[in-house]
Structure 1
Amino acid sequence: MLLYALFLCFSPILVIVNVFQDFIKKMLTGTMARAKQVQHDQKKYLLKIIKITVLGFFLATSLSATESYEVISTSLFSEKNTGGDTQNLNLKDLESIQEPFAQKQLERLPSLNITPTGPQGRTIEYTLRGAKSSQNAVFLDGVLVNNPASGGKFDFADLLVEDLEEIEVLPGANSVIYGANALGGVIHLKTKKGRGKPRGLAKGGAGNFKTQQGHIEAQGEFHNLNFYGSGTGYKSGKGDFRNKVHNNIESDYYRNSTVSSSLGMTPNDNTEIGGFVRSMDANVQFDNSQFVPLENAYLPFASDSFSHTRTTLGGIHGDLNSFDNFWEHHLILGAARTKRETTTPGFSSLTQGQNSHLKYYEDLNWASWTTSTLGFDLGHEKVQDSFSGKHDRDQHALFFQEKFKPWKSTELTSGIRYDHYSFGGRRVNYRLGASHTFGNSRLRSSFGTGFKPPVLSDMFNIGPFALPNPQLKAETNHSFDMGFDHKLNEKFEGSFTVFYNRIENIVISQRVGNQFQRVNGGRRTARGLEGTLAHKPFETLKLRTSATLTRAYDHHLQKRAPNISVLKGTLEAFWKPFQKVELFVTTLCKSSQIDAVTSKILKPFTKVNVGGKYHFYEHVSLFGRIDNITNRQYEEVFGYSVRGRLFLMGLEVRT
């Protein structure tokens, strides 16, 4: 076992050293032919690393008996975030408000501002403490899902949560462990895993506006194997409705089908291997813009324009603990592809973005007071569209982090990372974190840097209205936060955080004749306060509230940053008046904000949702909810209004 552990640890490191040696030697020659040979060698060594690392895992695990064991894995994400703020929604939180879309779940967290760019299914823009959608890294089970063909962001419009068991958000620059995309923060989506004896679940519901939704899943464990599989569907429309704010007619047609599955194995107490696949297929009818003189702006009007998006992703992971948890090895290999077809009465286009990544790192637990983490990332991105053809690039990185506990209640971390992109340059980032616990309270603080390399779609995209700019520079961020957490007798929890972000070289659109080109020219500062409280005054009642104050300013435009409310607040109440009855009320309040396209001021609004569940048999429940119960007519983006109240009822059966 010792030989296999040594083989597993040092072989990938030796191979990655060889990659850099060959890269340096051949780049010094300065010839194009040899530069191409470098890229070929990098791909060859990437395959070597994959083969060696995966082989090492299987060799190490094959020596152990195949009995049933329980493995408690170390989290890749929040466990590495010493001193930083961690915000999460667990499985119970996700199920409590009966909301199937991730975008509505995410707006419950204080650090996020969610802005849909139209009706259900249209692109979702969001900010994480002032950082735009494209400046944050999104992972699903450790696999990066940001799309290099759409500005480098992940679009939450089509993400359903029925197969998720947790959403974890780490605000602030976190590039050291999580890579270049984590300029503003990290959002990690964790899918369900099979646990306990095999069982199943089926539920479905229907409501007004021709709304229907359904979900079926099966999961469980057999000896040392666990499995999970599910299918989810959602649709609304088909039909048009009138926007009562501006009197324009909008489209309402959306279809979504999602399939997800995972399989895992725990050959022994020290090893866990697993994999997953997930596919999302969505169709939406969207509106075309028309200029309205009375509004002095463009407004959306219903048209026969459609978008079809297919996202497929998958990955494998392995965790191996050796020498009584002294030496921990972690491997994640994954790929994601998003393909979007857009059709309008006079235009059609096709874009496709994909990325594949290999992350390997090891934790050396030298003593109870210190842990060293070192590892590498290898990646490949590719984009393709109807006008500019295909473009791709390679990426590799090395990172190191040291965790130190000078006292039992105090934890300090420091980390550094080197990234290199074949197009987009190279960068060194660092992060410092500290936390101190006293009684039921904790003080924490972190400071870090992050960067976002220019995305391929901005560098090379060309079309009727777009010009490429291969000279784009990376966006950068310096972030700081400091906070206080307190927990008292399982009845009360609270946290308070102050934060500051300074984002430089923001990529913006610049008009060149009748076309637009992406250029570096922006700087944004965002500072604010976040606070959350959770209180359980009675065993049957739970209250939770959050409030966020954000001051985000775009210095290149000399005005407030768009799509960010200065004040945002949530209030949630969960009540179980009887053994078989569960009720909830959720409230979202937002102050005015600036529309990103028209620069018009959007009015403040308050949205209230209510719902509940009645367990009338041991395995059968009736559920229902009313969204926007006050029927408030409000706009989260100029020209697009909510349709009205949504009534939905359904039945759930569990085995």
Structure 2
Amino acid sequence: MAIYGAPVPWALVGFLSVVVALPAVAEPAALLTGVPPVSQQARDLFAQAPAPPLPSTPEVRPLEGFAESRLDQPLFAPFRREGTVRESSRAAYVVTRRQIEVQGARTVQEALRYLPGVLSDGTAGTQLGASSSQFIRGGDSPQTLVLLDGRPINDLGFQGSYDLSEITTDAIERIEVVPGGGSTLYGANAVGGVINIVTRAVSEQPATTSVRLTAGSFGLNEQSLQTSGTSGPIGWRVGYDRTQATNNFPFTIDSVGFSGIRQNADVVYNNFNVRLEAALSPRTDLTFNLIANNKDLGAPGGVPLPIPGSVGQFNSLSSDARQFTNNWLTDLLLKAKLGQGEDSRLTARFYADFLNYRFDAPVSLGTRDEIAREDYGLQLQHDWRVSPGQNLIYGFDFRTTHALNTTFNYPSTTTALNYEGDVTQGAFFVRDEIAILDSLRLNLGVRQDLSSVVNGSFTSPSAGLRWEVGEDTAIRANYARSFRAPLISDLYYRLRSPFFNIDGNPNLRPEQGDSYDIGIDQKIGEAALLRLTYFSNTVSDTISFVFSDPFFTSGTYTNVGLVRTTGVEATADIEIAPFWYFSANYTTSDPRILQDSDPTVLGKQLSFRGADSFNASLAYESPGGWYAGVFVHSIGSFFVNNANTESLGGYTTADLKLRLPLNNAFVLNAQLNNLFNQQYQVYPGYPGLGLNFRLGLTLTL
């Protein structure tokens, strides 16, 4: 069986057949794809929040039920304004605050684990603190744009991504994942998709304070304090989180019969968050937000397996290698309603980020590498509801990044400058949402980016369609052109030594992406919602490092490669009985190399991005807030090199999550992860975490 030429596994066919055959049941609930549902109490809380106007419908809907609540989840990223899942022509997946809490997700990376469309386990191991990777529709981490409250935080001065394991979840309200190109609204790096992290607003109460203590396997301990409140026109939220884990966990690599204890994988977080909100007038609000991510991480490298030639034959970086990050993300946001009505809104944001990275290995490598980046940006946007059926968004973005990279050599006590440079980007964008009919909505957009980099300017058009075929069925279709800008390290890196002669390339072109998808949202009574999306994503002019001599001592960065990824995302959310909820999603991805500097890899599958994934959860939640859920996370086998000569087997883990309200003030959270102690690798020589537990107690006053 194939959909537009893309092979579809028979497991997916069976999965969809079972979902369509399920009978409807009537108990209302809210459930998000791939993560557990929320209680009636939580639904009442969501209902208190103001929602934007929804498209008109032929008749008044009855009391909101399961599928309606799912479609009415708040969503920002596909529109660059507050909207809902129902309004989006794009497939979008959301993790809410409630679900972060019942999952016990301590970082944004952990919170993404059960979502469709994104491979979030990374390649550095799955222990707390391990550096994250996020692969969406064949794209790698630098091709995934990470937003914080709708503004970019990708590191253009170093790796091009943002390590989502650094952001702890205390200050996070929800996380949105929108697969597919997103450059029309947000610019560079949105080739594979967009992840938007939405921070928590201040409490409307005079003062609310929560304290959490958590302990767990392998030396895990956490202390968190959050306080929030409102006094007159001023509101605040202030928090601190300290998390520590030794991560000396046992592992077994079955393929070579090797066991050991993971060493030098410990981590210490010291994270702060501050949010201040001021109502300057009944129609004007000012918000200041600061998030400080500080992480001290052991960097053990790959496990040195004893069998020569085996998959994963790597040398450890030794017990002395450590990675330090100290990132400060700040922004000042002004929102104003213009005129006397509700149809014209102006948003102005200024942000400044300071990112510092140090990799220190005085014994094993004899070097200390340091990278400092400063990032300043401005967003100006006008949201104008021209008529009940038309919404126009247009504006201007500006961003400038400076990066400095030096390496200190311990034996010679000398410091080398690897690169120092600036990249400045400006852009104009417009997006028009038009209701052609009550049941048919069209969106058209275009963005023109202007860059200080030679050949760095780019035009990003997009078009989307959502057609409500009936009250229970909607069809979605989208096209988007996107790009990834060259990094400062790609442009200016320079290394001269007796052994290496490496240069950056200031004439690099941006990577270009063309993304297509078509999908359907199908309600099954009021008890279930099925979403199915077929996608094709093509990325050309990929930036790669190419050696220019047979001894691998000299080379530069250049534009080579063309990759096309096709696949399917399928999700089902079902209330199977009162207070019982089932959720499942399946993603298949086939990234094929069509052009490359190495002709032997043509037609092969791109490494790491080709794993299929399956997630499922079965949960019970009582009206009083007692919660129990079982989660299954399964990743298929995948190649670890573009030649497709080496691969890692798939793995399946099962997790148990519990939430027990002891009284009005105390809540006990417990989780038992990897119940069957599955042993696996996410990268050759990088084992995943085995059986482990966490136990936390939260006091709210």
Could you state the TM-score of these two structures normalised by the residue count of structure 1?
A: 0.85
In the alignment, the residues of structure 2 paired with residue 648 and residue 71 of structure 1 have an alpha-carbon distance, to the nearest angstrom, of: 35
Equivalent residues in 2 for 1:446-465 (5 A)? 446-463=478-495
Report the Cα offset of residue 239 of structure 1.
4.2
2:631 match: 586
1:341 match: 358
In the alignment, the residues of structure 2 paired with residue 643 and residue 136 of structure 1 have an alpha-carbon distance, to the nearest angstrom, of: 25
Structure 1 counterpart SS, 2:262: strand
In the alignment, the residues of structure 2 paired with residue 203 and residue 234 of structure 1 have an alpha-carbon distance, to the nearest angstrom, of: 11
1:568 match: 613
Q: 2:387 aligns with which of 367, 381, 396?
A: 367
Q: 1:613 to 1:363 in 2, by over 3 A?
A: closer
Equivalent AA in structure 2 for residue 250 of structure 1? R
2:9 match: none
2:171 match: 163
In the alignment, the residues of structure 1 paired with residue 154 and residue 488 of structure 2 have an alpha-carbon distance, to the nearest angstrom, of: 12
Q: 1:578 to 1:408 in 2, by over 3 A?
A: closer
Equivalent AA in structure 1 for residue 607 of structure 2? P
2:523 match: 487
- Deviations 1:118-173 (CA, angstroms, capped at 9, x unpaired): 24333322211111110121111223111123231111222222221110112111
Alpha-carbon contact 2:397-2:426 (below 8 Å) kept: yes
In the alignment, the residues of structure 1 paired with residue 243 and residue 332 of structure 2 have an alpha-carbon distance, to the nearest angstrom, of: 28
Q: Which 5+ residue runs of structure 1 have no aligned equivalent?
A: 1-69
Report the Cα offset of residue 578 of structure 1.
8.2
Q: 1:520 aligns with which of 556, 559, 566?
A: 559
Q: 1:248 to 1:275 in 2, by over 3 A?
A: same
1:216 match: 225
- CA RMSD, Structure 1 to Structure 2 (Å): 2.3
2:194 is equivalent to residue 186 of structure 1: yes
- Deviations 1:260-306 (CA, angstroms, capped at 9, x unpaired): 11111234443222110010110111124558552345325342111
1:304 match: 320
1:207 match: 216
1:97 match: 103
In the alignment, the residues of structure 1 paired with residue 461 and residue 131 of structure 2 have an alpha-carbon distance, to the nearest angstrom, of: 32
2:414 match: none
In the alignment, the residues of structure 2 paired with residue 645 and residue 596 of structure 1 have an alpha-carbon distance, to the nearest angstrom, of: 29
Report the Cα offset of residue 579 of structure 1.
4.0
1:55 match: none
Q: 1:321 to 1:220 in 2, by over 3 A?
A: same
- Deviations 1:64-101 (CA, angstroms, capped at 9, x unpaired): xxxxxx98789753335842122111111211211212
In the alignment, the residues of structure 2 paired with residue 215 and residue 269 of structure 1 have an alpha-carbon distance, to the nearest angstrom, of: 34
Q: 1:303 to 1:598 in 2, by over 3 A?
A: farther
Q: 1:613 to 1:520 in 2, by over 3 A?
A: same
Report the Cα offset of residue 105 of structure 1.
1.6
Q: 1:435 to 1:580 in 2, by over 3 A?
A: closer
Report the Cα offset of residue 487 of structure 1.
3.4
In the alignment, the residues of structure 1 paired with residue 138 and residue 427 of structure 2 have an alpha-carbon distance, to the nearest angstrom, of: 26
Structure 2 counterpart SS, 1:125: coil
2:184 is equivalent to residue 176 of structure 1: yes
2:283 is equivalent to residue 279 of structure 1: no
In the alignment, the residues of structure 1 paired with residue 621 and residue 338 of structure 2 have an alpha-carbon distance, to the nearest angstrom, of: 46
Q: 1:364 to 1:337 in 2, by over 3 A?
A: same
1:56 match: none
Report the Cα offset of residue 212 of structure 1.
1.1
Q: 1:441 to 1:468 in 2, by over 3 A?
A: same
Q: 1:487 to 1:271 in 2, by over 3 A?
A: farther
- Deviations 1:608-629 (CA, angstroms, capped at 9, x unpaired): 1112122222211222111111
Q: 1:295 to 1:204 in 2, by over 3 A?
A: farther
Report the Cα offset of residue 249 of structure 1.
5.2
Q: 2:576 aligns with which of 531, 537, 559?
A: 537
2:476 is equivalent to residue 444 of structure 1: yes
Equivalent residues in 2 for 1:144-163 (5 A)? 144-163=152-171
Report the Cα offset of residue 549 of structure 1.
1.2
Alpha-carbon contact 2:419-2:494 (below 8 Å) kept: no
Q: Which 5+ residue runs of structure 2 have no aligned equivalent?
A: 1-48, 54-74, 81-86, 407-416
- Deviations 1:486-527 (CA, angstroms, capped at 9, x unpaired): 335552122111111000011122224324532211111111
Structure 2 counterpart SS, 1:79: coil
Structure 1 counterpart SS, 2:158: coil
Q: 1:412 aligns with which of 423, 437, 442?
A: 442
2:649 is equivalent to residue 603 of structure 1: yes
Alpha-carbon contact 2:89-2:465 (below 8 Å) kept: yes
Q: 2:397 aligns with which of 371, 377, 389?
A: 377
Q: 1:105 to 1:71 in 2, by over 3 A?
A: closer
Alpha-carbon contact 1:130-1:552 (below 8 Å) kept: yes
Report the Cα offset of residue 539 of structure 1.
2.6
Q: 1:261 aligns with which of 271, 274, 278?
A: 274
In the alignment, the residues of structure 2 paired with residue 292 and residue 108 of structure 1 have an alpha-carbon distance, to the nearest angstrom, of: 34
Equivalent AA in structure 2 for residue 314 of structure 1? T
1:502 match: 538
Equivalent AA in structure 2 for residue 524 of structure 1? V
Equivalent residues in 2 for 1:223-242 (5 A)? 223-237=232-246, 239=248, 241=250
Alpha-carbon contact 1:373-1:400 (below 8 Å) kept: yes
Alpha-carbon contact 1:115-1:637 (below 8 Å) kept: no
2:333 match: 317
626-635 or 83-92: bigger deviation = 83-92
573-582 or 267-276: bigger deviation = 573-582
Tell me which protein shows more helix as a share of its residues.
1
In the alignment, the residues of structure 1 paired with residue 493 and residue 230 of structure 2 have an alpha-carbon distance, to the nearest angstrom, of: 47
Q: 1:580 to 1:123 in 2, by over 3 A?
A: closer
Structure 1 counterpart SS, 2:402: strand
Alpha-carbon contact 1:143-1:335 (below 8 Å) kept: no
1:26 match: none
In the alignment, the residues of structure 2 paired with residue 615 and residue 491 of structure 1 have an alpha-carbon distance, to the nearest angstrom, of: 27
Structure 2 counterpart SS, 1:124: coil
259-268 or 271-280: bigger deviation = 259-268
Percent pairwise identity: 18
In the alignment, the residues of structure 1 paired with residue 201 and residue 642 of structure 2 have an alpha-carbon distance, to the nearest angstrom, of: 41
Q: 1:139 to 1:592 in 2, by over 3 A?
A: same
Q: 1:273 to 1:72 in 2, by over 3 A?
A: farther
- Deviations 1:12-66 (CA, angstroms, capped at 9, x unpaired): xxxxxxxxxxxxxxxxxxxxxxxxxxxxxxxxxxxxxxxxxxxxxxxxxxxxxxx
Q: 1:639 to 1:510 in 2, by over 3 A?
A: same
2:443 is equivalent to residue 401 of structure 1: no
- Deviations 1:445-497 (CA, angstroms, capped at 9, x unpaired): 11010111211111112236643122211100010111111335552122111
Could you state the TM-score of these two structures normalised by the residue count of structure 2?
A: 0.80
Aligned pair count reads: 586
Q: 1:596 to 1:159 in 2, by over 3 A?
A: farther
Which protein, 1 or 2, shows the higher relative CO under an 8 Å CA cutoff with sep ≥ 6?
A: 2
In the alignment, the residues of structure 2 paired with residue 593 and residue 190 of structure 1 have an alpha-carbon distance, to the nearest angstrom, of: 32
In the alignment, the residues of structure 2 paired with residue 617 and residue 224 of structure 1 have an alpha-carbon distance, to the nearest angstrom, of: 32
Alpha-carbon contact 2:571-2:584 (below 8 Å) kept: yes
Alpha-carbon contact 2:678-2:690 (below 8 Å) kept: yes
Tell me which protein shows more strand as a share of its residues.
1
